[in-house]
């Protein structure tokens, strides 16, 4: 026996007949640990996914060996979280998290429990895990270790806490959001007692860090069942982590274009786009300002003037609060801002819309608009869809024509203007913008000679000496 480590020999009930075809690298790591007298199992999400017939995203390993003992056995390791027992073992350019059996204290703040006690007992380690479906372990020697009936919950499609749900949610409130996230990813129901505990303890989610909430919310939003956002609302979770969503759920839309509350419309719209992070978040937030922008006219009809612009602002505040990365925030906010913009269907107007919206997000605009229309009432639906089709056709035509849509595509540059004697950066910028305006009107104007002539005409009519004269 290695000093400080534990030998195989804890009695665990296992289903020996169960066989998982472990990837070669995982088997190599498990074998090396086993050969050196430690216990080692594949554990958690990977076992769950294999039992579901899905390809696991990553393979986590749990072992009786302490972190330093793991490090001693493998030439390439990274100290991922030694104090929490995690070492990443690098096996031919691929990393595998190997974590010592542990009992967790409370999860005070961030990703990790305040206090971790290593244990020689696999069952103690499995007991600290969140749900029965995530608390199974496997190795070739012992087969499947499934102390909490995870396999049968998998078969029945149930997310159920390991042990007493209230205790488990008191230890780590994030688990409540994770329960709904897994139900969205797997299409599972949440077991009754687990649900009841969420209802009474959802308030504790206010102690959880923004980063952890963001991760789970994105996983739910991009899952096969984004409609589980409804469960987040019903269980009182959004009230704590995203109260703006509750306002949407509670805002009626008395308008022939709509047949749902803003929140229900939002949920349907999320289901109408592919599970892409930017698209799903755009649909989640596209009408976020409607509760604030709602007015009712004398005939009792609701209007939501200005909601896209205001929505982009509110979405930005939410993204900041949840500590999202800048790229996601900018992409989603641009789409929220322009989701309801309907240019006249001429090349000129569409070119202008493309410049205003920003080309990078443009292809997504059409998916967003279709998802939005399909989540509305059937009133004028075909007309609206025809409009989007035609809009998209014109967009593609503009791209094929290679029309100039930015200053850098102009056939005249800032340097040309300098050579004409214009010194001020601001004036150069203004003139280039004016030229772009002209070219957007008619792409044939993007000819060097024509544009230089326009500059000369401009300078003759509006002496470029003037700004300097004004300065003095």
Which does residue 172 bind out of Mg ion, ligand ATP, none, counting CB within 5 to 8 angstroms by kind?
A: ligand ATP
Among the listed residues 5, 26, 30, 45, the single contact to Mg ion using CB under 5 A: 45
Closest separation in Å from C-beta 198 to ligand ATP: 14
Closest separation in Å from C-beta 159 to ligand ATP: 11
Which does residue 77 bind out of ligand ATP, Mg ion, none, counting CB within 5 to 8 angstroms by kind?
A: none
b/e 285-303 (16+ beta carbons within 10 angstroms → b): bbbbbbbebbeeeeeeebe
- The count of residues interacting with Mg ion (CB under 5 A) is 1
Closest separation in Å from C-beta 113 to Mg ion: 17
b/e 231-242 (16+ beta carbons within 10 angstroms → b): bbbebbbbbbbb
Site for ligand ATP in 125-154 (CB under 6 A): 129-130, 134-135
Furthest CA-CA distance within the chain: 94
Site for ligand ATP in 403-442 (CB under 6 A): none
Closest separation in Å from C-beta 58 to Mg ion: 5
Contact letters for ligand ATP, residues 15-44 (x by CB under 6 A): -----------------------------x
Please, which residue, 45 or 165, has the CB nearer to ligand ATP?
45
Closest separation in Å from C-beta 122 to ligand ATP: 13
Q: How far, in whole angstroms, is CA 312 from its chain's centroid? A: 17
Nearest residue (beta carbon) to ligand ATP: 45
Which does residue 174 bind out of ligand ATP, Mg ion, none, counting CB within 5 to 8 angstroms by kind?
A: ligand ATP
Site for ligand ATP in 45-74 (CB under 6 A): 45, 57, 60
Q: Which one of the spans 42-50, 99-107, 341-349, 382-390 is the region binding Mg ion (CB under 5 A)?
A: 42-50
Closest separation in Å from C-beta 150 to Mg ion: 15
Which does residue 175 bind out of Mg ion, ligand ATP, none, counting CB within 5 to 8 angstroms by kind?
A: ligand ATP
Among the listed residues 39, 125, 146, 172, the single contact to ligand ATP using CB under 6 A: 172
Q: Is residue 310 near ligand ATP by the rule CB under 6 A?
A: no
Nearest residue (beta carbon) to Mg ion: 45
Which does residue 142 bind out of ligand ATP, Mg ion, none, counting CB within 5 to 8 angstroms by kind?
A: none
Please, which residue, 47 or 365, has the CB nearer to ligand ATP?
47
Please, which residue, 63 or 403, has the CB nearer to ligand ATP?
63
Closest separation in Å from C-beta 214 to ligand ATP: 13
Site for ligand ATP in 173-202 (CB under 6 A): 174-175
Helices assigned H by DSSP within 209-306: 210-221, 229-234, 238-241, 243-249, 262-271, 277-285, 290-293
* Strand 94-100 with 60-63, pairing: parallel
Please, which residue, 80 or 166, has the CB nearer to Mg ion?
80
Q: How far, in whole angstroms, is CA 408 from its chain's centroid? A: 32
Please, which residue, 116 or 289, has the CB nearer to ligand ATP?
116
Please, which residue, 215 or 377, has the CB nearer to ligand ATP?
215
Please, which residue, 161 or 283, has the CB nearer to ligand ATP?
161
Query: Which residue ranges make up the site for ligand ATP (CB under 6 A)?
Result: 44-45, 57, 60, 129-130, 134-135, 172, 174-175
Question: Which residue ranges make up the site for Mg ion (CB under 5 A)?
Answer: 45
């Amino acid at each position: 026996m290695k000093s400080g480590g534990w030998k195989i020999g804890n009695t665990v009930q296992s289903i020996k007949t169960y066989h998982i075809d472990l990837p070669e690298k995982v088997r190599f790591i498990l074998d090396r640990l086993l050969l050196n007298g430690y216990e080692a199992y594949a554990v958690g999400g990977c076992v769950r996914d294999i039992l579901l017939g899905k390809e696991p995203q990553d393979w986590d390993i749990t072992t009786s060996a302490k972190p330093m003992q793991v490090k001693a056995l493998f030439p390439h390791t990274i100290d991922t979280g030694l104090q929490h027992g995690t070492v990443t073992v690098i096996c031919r350019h691929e990393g595998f998290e190997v974590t010592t059996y542990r009992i967790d204290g409370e999860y005070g703040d961030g990703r990790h429990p305040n206090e971790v006690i290593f244990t020689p007992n696999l069952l103690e380690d499995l007991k600290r895990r969140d749900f029965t479906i995530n608390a199974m372990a496997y190795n070739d020697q012992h087969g499947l270790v499934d102390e909490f009936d995870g396999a049968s919950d998998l078969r029945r499609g149930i997310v159920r806490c390991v042990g007493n749900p209230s205790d488990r949610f008191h230890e780590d409130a994030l688990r409540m959001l994770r329960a709904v996230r897994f139900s969205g990813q797997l299409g599972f129901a949440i077991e009754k007692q687990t649900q009841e505990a969420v209802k009474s303890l959802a308030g504790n989610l206010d102690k959880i860090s923004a980063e952890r909430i963001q991760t789970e919310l994105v996983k739910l939003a991009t899952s096969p069942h984004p409609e589980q956002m409804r469960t987040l609302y019903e269980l009182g979770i959004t009230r704590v982590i995203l109260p703006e969503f509750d306002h949407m759920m509670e805002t009626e839309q008395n308008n022939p274009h709509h047949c749902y509350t803003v929140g229900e419309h939002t949920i349907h719209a999320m289901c109408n786009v592919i599970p892409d992070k930017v698209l799903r978040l755009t649909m989640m937030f596209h009408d976020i300002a409607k509760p604030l922008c709602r007015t009712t006219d004398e005939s009792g009809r609701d209007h939501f003037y200005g909601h896209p612009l205001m929505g982009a602002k509110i979405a930005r505040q939410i993204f900041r609060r949840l500590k999202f990365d800048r790229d996601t925030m900018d992409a989603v906010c641009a789409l929220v801002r322009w989701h309801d913009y309907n240019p006249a269907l001429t090349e000129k107007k569409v070119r202008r819309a493309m410049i205003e919206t920003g080309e990078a997000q443009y292809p997504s605009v059409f998916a967003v608009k279709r998802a939005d229309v399909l989540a509305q009432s059937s009133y004028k639906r075909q007309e609206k869809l025809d409009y989007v089709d035609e809009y998209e056709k014109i967009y593609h035509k503009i791209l094929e024509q290679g029309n100039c849509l930015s200053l850098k595509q102009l056939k005249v540059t800032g340097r040309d203007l300098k050579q004409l004697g214009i010194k001020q950066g601001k004036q150069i910028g203004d003139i280039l913008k004016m030229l772009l305006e002209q070219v957007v009107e008619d792409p044939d104007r993007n000819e060097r000679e024509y544009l230089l002539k326009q500059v000369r005409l401009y300078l003759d009519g509006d002496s470029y000496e003037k700004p300097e004269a004004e300065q003095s």
